[in-house]
């Protein structure tokens, strides 16, 4: 796959994630893909286990992609994942092999109030 095809596959993946289309969401993964959540110390091995773990989550989720950057076999998506109305700023790092994701690592950051010591240099983003 070339970069444009991978970008289209990523756009479809995130749109399917937001639409709760678990079948389409997981088409992007190889059968032996690995997903890691370093902050919780979890690793899920295998496309079907990744899909099952996401299908079992009771939370209402929304995905708002801010940007996707990458080329070749390494792609990064920055997005806001909202669980039950609470946003978490998220980065997904995906490594591709043969046009499919072989490894994904996701990092989550909760919002925090702005620091008063830097307020004179800051403009708020939405």
CATH number of the domain bearing residue 72: 3.10.450.50
What is the residue range of 68's domain? 3-110
CA-nearest of 19, 42, 45, 41 to 31 is 45
Classify residue 23: in a domain, yes or no. Answer: yes
Q: Number of structural domains, the chain? A: 1
pLDDT given for residue 68 in this prediction: 98
Classify residue 55: in a domain, yes or no. Answer: yes
What's the helix, strand, coil split of the chain in %, to 5?
Answer: 30, 45, 30
Classify residue 41: in a domain, yes or no. Answer: yes
How far, CA to CA in Å, does 5 sit from each of 12, 94, 103, 114? 11, 15, 18, 39
Residues of the chain with pLDDT under 50: none
Classify residue 123: in a domain, yes or no. Answer: no
pLDDT given for residue 111 in this prediction: 83
Separation between Cα atoms, residue 39 and residue 23, nearest integer Å: 26
pTM over cut 0.75: yes
Classify residue 126: in a domain, yes or no. Answer: no
CA-nearest of 79, 85, 84 to 109 is 79
Classify residue 29: in a domain, yes or no. Answer: yes
pLDDT given for residue 94 in this prediction: 98
Classify residue 28: in a domain, yes or no. Answer: yes
* pLDDT tens track for 62-88: 999 999 999 999 999 999 999 899 999
């Amino acid at each position: 796959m070339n970069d444009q095809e991978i970008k289209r596959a990523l756009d479809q993946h995130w749109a399917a994630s937001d639409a709760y289309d678990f079948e389409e969401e997981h088409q992007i993964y190889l059968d032996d893909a690995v997903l890691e959540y370093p902050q919780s110390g979890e690793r899920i091995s295998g496309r079907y286990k990744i899909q099952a773990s996401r299908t079992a989550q009771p939370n209402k989720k929304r995905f708002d992609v801010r940007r996707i950057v990458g080329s070749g076999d390494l792609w990064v998506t920055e997005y806001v994942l909202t669980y039950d109305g609470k946003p978490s700023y998220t980065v997904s790092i995906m490594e591709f092999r043969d046009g499919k994701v072989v490894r994904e690592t996701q990092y989550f950051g909760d919002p925090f109030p702005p620091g008063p010591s830097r307020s004179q240099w800051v403009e708020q983003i939405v």
